[in-house]
């Protein structure tokens, strides 16, 4: 895989039935607290280092290494810069059906509960990742070939003795989060969400409370997490990103983003250089 050059731009692409892929470029060392990972993801660090931490453990992934991260969990993630003052990583998400097929074919493999580092990378692995990302980005590649290329990465993970888990029955919180994800800019409220799931507002609130959360909390976190992804993996201006997640002005968006992550959205792209936020 070609190293990220200083003139490279971040990318974010989704191909229905295949998966999603992206390139993250960062010019500042930042820690992202409680980032919700909805779907299993493979992250390859090209430049800099990535620290992934949860309540019972952590991994440090260096340049030239990868990590397979299970979905349905919140993690603290720190991206540290390389000596040249930049961070670059590639990420890949599979269509759910590819995850299920791999799990059905190899039930003997250990399930990734949090994360599995892949530190013994080879040129063949890097080439496989490049092919998979190209398959997501290039619609001219037949879907069957594209899916095959993404399955190859699941096999590489299997060679480390593990696999991702089947998608379980979704919690109410995840269902609500996915609904919001269909249109982050929509004016979601309890009435609108409850009607989609054919339940009363009281039932919706009770189900979410039983999971230790609420609609407002999910709405803000879902919007800010998507905004973070757009800031890291696209070149969209902050004004456009603010509108994409339901805020009419950049200032309103910036306040909410800072409340959630502890630094302004401009920090992602190195426009400011405040001290690193730490737990």
Report, in angstroms and rounded to the nearest whole number, the Rg of the chain calculated over CA atoms: 19
**pTM of the predicted protein model:** 0.88
- 219: DSSP letter: H
* 11-163 CATH: 2.60.120.810
* Token representation of residue 264: 């302004």
CB 241 within 8 A of CB 231: yes
Cα distances (angstroms) measured from residue 4 to each of 79, 230, 238, 268, 278: 15, 18, 23, 17, 27
> What pLDDT was estimated at residue 111?
96
> What pLDDT was estimated at residue 185?
94
> What pLDDT was estimated at residue 169?
72
> What pLDDT was estimated at residue 13?
93
- 169: DSSP letter: P
> What pLDDT was estimated at residue 82?
95
Mean pLDDT, each 10-residue run in order, the chain (279 residues): 56 93 89 93 96 95 95 94 93 95 95 90 89 95 97 95 84 93 94 96 96 95 94 91 94 95 88 43
Short-list 178, 133, 182, 151, CA closest to 11: 133
Taking the alpha carbons of 229, 232, 236, 240 in that order, is the dihedral positive or negative? positive
Give the fold, CATH level 3, of 172-269: Arc Repressor Mutant, subunit A (1.10.10)
Query: What residue spans define the domains of the chain?
Result: 11-163, 172-269
Range list of H helices, 201-249: 201-210, 215-233, 238-244
CB 50 within 8 A of CB 66: no
Helices 215-233 and 250-261, interaxial angle, to 10°? 100
> What pLDDT was estimated at residue 277?
46
């Amino acid at each position: 895989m070609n190293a990220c050059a200083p003139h490279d731009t971040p990318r974010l692409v989704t191909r229905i039935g295949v998966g999603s892929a992206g390139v993250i470029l960062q010019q500042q060392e930042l820690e992202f607290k409680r980032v919700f990972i909805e779907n299993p993801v493979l992250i390859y660090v090209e430049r800099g280092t990535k620290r992934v931490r949860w309540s019972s453990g952590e991994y440090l992934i260096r340049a030239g290494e990868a990590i397979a991260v299970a979905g349905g969990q919140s993690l603290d993630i720190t991206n540290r810069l390389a000596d040249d003052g930049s961070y670059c990583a590639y990420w890949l998400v599979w269509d759910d059906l590819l995850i299920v097929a791999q799990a059905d074919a190899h039930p003997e493999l250990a399930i990734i509960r949090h994360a599995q580092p892949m530190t013994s990378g080879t040129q063949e692995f890097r080439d496989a990742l490049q092919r998979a990302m190209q398959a997501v980005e290039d619609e001219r590649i037949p879907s069957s070939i594209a899916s095959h290329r993404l399955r190859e990465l699941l096999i590489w993970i299997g060679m480390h003795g593990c696999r991702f888990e089947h998608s379980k029955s979704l919690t109410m919180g995840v269902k609500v989060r996915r609904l919001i994800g269909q249109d982050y800019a929509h004016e979601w409220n309890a009435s609108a969400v409850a009607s989609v799931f054919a339940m009363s507002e009281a039932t919706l609130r009770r189900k979410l409370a039983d999971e230790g959360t609420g609609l407002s909390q999910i709405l803000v976190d879902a919007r800010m997490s998507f905004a973070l992804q757009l800031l890291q993996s696209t070149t969209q201006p902050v004004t456009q990103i603010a509108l994409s997640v339901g805020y009419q002005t950049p200032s309103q968006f910036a306040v909410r983003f800072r409340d959630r992550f502890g630094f302004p959205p401009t920090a992602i792209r190195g426009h400011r250089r405040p001290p690193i936020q730490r737990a």
